Each structure stands twice: as structure tokens, then as C-alpha cells.
Structure 1
Amino acid sequence: MLLIERVAALHRVPIFAELYEHTLAEIAQIVEEVTFEPGEEIIREGAMEDWMFVLVDGRVQIDIGGVEISILEPGAAFGELAILDPAPRAATVTALESSLLFRIGHQPFRDVMHEQPEVMAALLVMLTRMLRASRNMPSAPLE
């Protein structure tokens, strides 16, 4: 995929949508294009990994504890927290159809964040929105 195509794909991702094109070009240079076939696991719940994914083409399913949580379409990002603070994965993500994804590694992304502070600002906005959304979700009953 050409750099300009990578930039366009990143621009469709909400956490990157407000970044300038020159900043997106920096990120586009560090992405690794990976493909998954239907039924292939992209992320396994509990695995220790330090990268995030951007879904460029295809559809994926997110499960927690074997229960379907959601289905993601192109333009979605997942695994963002691991790029900031590697920890066991909270969910399993499986390809539902042939899918093209961008994989972005922890260290290359940290390097871009140091060179382009607006990337850090975009991530802070994303984390704030996630926190707000989690507050609006009903709590699980205590047992």
C-alpha cells in the first residue's frame, strides 16, 4: 500500500482523524500491514502484547470470556491501551472475513509521540472519551 493510501486509512480512524497529514505520514511509515483470514485470532485474551491494530478492510469480532461484545468495521482501532502500557489483553479479536490491518508497535509509536506531541494529545482525548463512556455503562452486579 502506498504511503498516501496509508495516511488516508489512518485519517478514517477516530483517534487519528484530527491529526495533520504530516503527522499521519509519520505514523503511516511505522505501520506493518498484516492480513488475517476468517476465523484467525488477531488478539488472544490474556496474551502479553505491545501493539495496536487499525482495521483497514474486513470485519472482526471482539469477545470477552467467550461472549461476543462487538463487531468492528473498517476505520476501527483496537488494542490502543497496549501501545501505551503493555499488559495482558482484555479481549479476543477474531477475523470474521479476510481482513487487512495495520499493526503499530509500542516502541516505534513512542518514538513518533516524542517527535510529534500532537499524537500524545490525540491519545489523551481518546483515553478521556473511553473513561467517560465507561462511566455511562451499567456496572456488573457484585457477587
Structure 2
Amino acid sequence: MSLKLGFQGSERLREIGLFGGLGDEVLQDLSGSLDMIELPPGAVVFREGDSGREMFVLLDGEMEVLKQSKRKHETRVAVLGPGDWFGEMSILDVLPRSATVRAVAPSRLLRLTAHDLDSLYRRDLRAYSLLVLNIAREMSRRLRVCDNLLAELVANVIDEYTRPNRNG
């Protein structure tokens, strides 16, 4: 049985950046059509390498994003809270999942499928464009954060290996 946000859910969606700029009618349609999932702590939403044609919006709870190294060691790379969304890369580029996402606390998610996006595209091109633009803005923000982290990491490595040996 799938749960729905229902009529009052449109107010909840309005608070989430992914749905920024969307009109009342679109928000009501989405709140009545998107599936809601409840997860216990430790539940895995998807694993790195899985195929996927859906993304998720975290309504309540906490999720962790895990990346696996070549040595098969999982590292937490992000913690997500209410209002955050994830899984959008696979819905856009049709490639396997780039990370594992797991519930840290009891969580409620909304599922937005490629079919949901296609339906929005067919009935309201403006709303579809706004939603995709909101996804692109968040992906751009995340890329900037990664660029800064990479620059800092490279600078630290260069500093470590080019520093004169103090032990003589």
C-alpha cells in the first residue's frame, strides 16, 4: 500500500526547495500523486551501482550518503535532513547510482519517478522547467562544494610532499 501526502501536503511541498516556484495546482497534483515511503533506521533506499529511475525527497528523518572506495570501504560523504533530495542523477543521466543512501533515523520520503517527471512535462512545461532548474541549481551548488574540497585536498597534499624535511 502506498501512502500519499494528500491535500494538505501541498503546503509541505511549498517549503521544499525542489518545488520552489511551482503553482498551487501543480503542488496539489504532486502531493496527491507522489508515493510516500516510511523507513526504519538502517533501511537502505538504494545501493551504489543499482539502476534507478526515481529520486527521493526527505520529508522527515535523517539519511546518510555512503561512497565505496576501491578497497570496498564505505565512507559517509553527506548527511541529509528534511527538505533535502537525492537520487536525481540517475533520473537525469540514466546511469547507475553513484552512492548508497541509508536511513539513520526513522524517515519519511517522497518518491518522484521518471514517469512522474514525464507526466509533468506533458501537462505543464513551465512547472517541469522550474523543477528541473531547481535540480540543476542544487547540483551546481554541490559541484561547487566538491570543487572547494578538492582544491583544499590537493593543496594539502602538495604542501605535505613539497615541505622541506625537518628531520634532517
- TM-score interval for Structure 1 and Structure 2 normalised by the shorter chain: 0.7 to 0.9
Q: Which residue of 2 aligns with 1:98?
A: 106
> % of aligned pairs identical?
27
Per-residue CA distance 1:72-94 (angstroms, 9 max, x = gap): 11111111233333320111110
Q: Which has the higher helix share?
A: 2
Is 1:78–2:98 an aligned residue pair? no
Structure 1: state its 5+ residue gaps.
none
Task: Give me the whole-angstrom Cα distance separating, in 2, the residues matched to 1:31 and 1:121.
Answer: 18
Task: Give me the whole-angstrom Cα distance separating, in 1, the residues matched to 2:91 and 2:33.
Answer: 13
What letter matches 2:100 in structure 1? Answer: T
Contact in 2 for aligned 1:34/1:103 (Cα 8 Å): yes
Is 1:29–2:32 an aligned residue pair? yes
Contact in 1 for aligned 2:48/2:98 (Cα 8 Å): yes
- Give the counterpart of 1:14 among 10, 13, 17: 17
What letter matches 1:28 in structure 2? Answer: S
- Which segment is superposed worse, 108-117 or 51-60? 108-117
After TM superposition, what 4+ stretches of structure 1 lie above 3 angstroms from structure 2? 138-141
Contact in 1 for aligned 2:7/2:32 (Cα 8 Å): no
Cα 1:27/1:82, change in 2 over 3 Å? farther
- Give the counterpart of 1:60 among 44, 60, 63: 63
Alignment length (residue pairs): 141
Contact in 2 for aligned 1:26/1:112 (Cα 8 Å): no
Structure 2: state its 5+ residue gaps.
69-73, 155-168
Is 1:118–2:118 an aligned residue pair? no
TM-score, L = length of structure 1: 0.85
- Give the counterpart of 1:51 among 42, 50, 54: 54
Q: Which has the higher strand share?
A: 1
**Relative contact order, higher structure (CA 8 A, sep 6+):** 1
TM-score, L = length of structure 2: 0.74
Over the aligned positions, Cα root-mean-square deviation in angstroms equals 2.0
1:12 Cα deviation (Å)? Answer: 2.0
What letter matches 1:24 in structure 2? Answer: L
Larger radius of gyration: 2
Per-residue CA distance 1:36-83 (angstroms, 9 max, x = gap): 110110121110010011111111111111111111111111112333
